[in-house]
Amino acid sequence: MALLEASDLSLGYDSRYIVKGLDFSVNSGDFLCIVGENGSGKTTLMKTLLGLIKPFGGQILTGDGLKKKDIGYLPQHTALQKDFPASVREIVLSGCQGRFAFRPFYGKAEKQLAFENMRRMGIEELKDSCYSKLSGGQQQRILLARALCAAEKLLLLDEPVSGLDPKVTAQMYELIRDLNKEGLTIIMISHDINAAVRYASHILHMGVTCFFGTREEYLKSDTGKLFLMLKRGGEACA
């Protein structure tokens, strides 16, 4: 069975449907990119996968023993997050909260995991720094390290490079790609269609017409060809 499978899924909020009859699956080791225009339901889908909101219809099935505590989540970066008054170590360590049931403290294993993920993100030397004093790129690495502390089997990313400059954006995409190459399953919302078709193994396109398939199938589909043409045409005119 797939790690995660959506069947005949209907999504929305405030009694308003955004999408109906959505079907897709994610296997262990996949890198699924979710693309589409603003308002097509991408973030609503991710919140549904996290169990933060309920679908209007259909079901989400999990396999391979996947549980909520096995899922790491990096939401869109907000102004509130940028000003969070805590040390890098405290923020990364907080990602381990789901790992100890009723213990009121972090153990040696959680502290070691937090340090290992800081090392993976190249921020171990910042461990005692104040998060709010760091650059946007450094903050995203910190939040990604935090998400990795929870990501036993699956990592969800909601536009992880939003607001970053081109150099830092490229570095973040390389970090995410490397995590996937190490075997971590990734679902990422991206407004950057070029990055999506470069890094993803599978594409879920949400909109008036929905598409799910491999990257190669998407590039050959009418939906993919049209979206790529519109996006790249808009960038050329910008």
How confident is the model over 101-138, as pLDDT tens digits? 556 678 888 999 999 999 999 999 999 999 999 998 99
- If one compares 45 and 230, the residue with the highest pLDDT of the two is 45
Evaluate if pTM is beyond 0.95.
no
Give the pLDDT score at 162.
86
- 235 has pLDDT over 70: no
User: For 16-45, what is each residue's pLDDT tens digit?
Assistant: 899 999 999 999 999 999 999 888 999 999
Confidence class for position 237, pLDDT limits 50, 70, 90:
very low
Confidence class for position 79, pLDDT limits 50, 70, 90:
low
Q: Is 143 exposed, middle or buried (0-12, 13-18, 19+ CB in 10 A)?
A: buried
Among 30-34, 64-68, 83-87, 208-212, the least confident range: 83-87
User: Which residue(s) pair with 31 in the sheet?
Assistant: 186
Residue 221 dihedral angles phi and psi, to the nearest 5°: -80, 155
In angstroms, the Cα distances linking 10 to 6, 21, 54, 57, 205 are 10, 6, 10, 5, 15
Determine contact, residues 172/162, Cβ cutoff 8 Å: no
How crowded is residue 125: how many other Cβ atoms within 10 Å of its Cβ? Answer: 10
Instruction: Decide the pairing of beta strands 16-26 and 4-13.
Output: antiparallel
In the structure, how many helices (H) and strands (E) does the chain have? Answer: 9, 9
